[in-house]
Amino acid sequence: MEAGRGDGQIAELIDRLRESSFSGFLSIEPHLHKAYPEASNPERFAIAAKALQQLLKDKQIEWN
């Protein structure tokens, strides 16, 4: 499942990173073949990137 929709608690992780003044990088690993079997790998990557972008936007964190 993409970030924010699965069991990974990514939104909570982002909160903790912000609280600790994290200034590093986030990466995505779009293992979405079960959720989107009809999508190509590039399409799955786009889905994963958009989900992370939305999470950051919801938390008012700039996407660089």
pLDDT digits (tens, 9 = 90+) for 3-57: 777 777 889 999 999 999 998 988 887 788 888 899 999 999 999 999 999 999 9
> How far is the CA of 3 from the CAs of 13, 30, 41, in angstroms?
11, 9, 16
pLDDT of residue 40: 92
pLDDT for residue 2: 75
Q: Are 5 and 53 a contacting pair, CB within 8 Å? A: no
Q: What is the model's pLDDT at position 64?
A: 74
